Amino acid sequence: MARSLCKWKKKEIEKGLHELAHIVDKPRYVCRDCARSAHDKGHLCKPTKLPLT
Ligand SMILES: [Zn+2]
């Protein structure tokens, strides 16, 4: 399932919690459109790199 998190519906979030936990673990990218974050930019619709802290 390589669909961007931005397209996930409520039901899918509930069902895919385990997968979601993996996707958002140690986030490196954030979506400029909807502020979601993910480890890989492929999961976001408008990914931009998070500044390292
Ligand atoms: Zn997005």
Q: What's the gap in Å between 51 CA and the centre of ligand 1?
A: 18
Distance (Å, whole) CA 53 – CA 51: 6
What percentage of the chain has pLDDT greater than the value 70? 94
Q: How far is the CA of 4 from the centre of ligand 1 (A)?
A: 7
Residue 12 confidence (pLDDT): 95
* Domain spans in the chain, listed from the N-terminal domain onward: 5-49
What is the Å distance from ligand 1's center to 3 Cα? 11
Distance between CA atoms of residues 47 and 38, nearest Å: 9
The sign of the torsion formed by the CA atoms of 36, 39, 42, 47 equals positive
Average pLDDT (12-35) is 96
- Ligand 1: centre distance to CA 13 (Å): 15
pTM: 0.82
Q: What is the pLDDT of residues 12-22, one digit of tens each?
A: 999 999 999 99
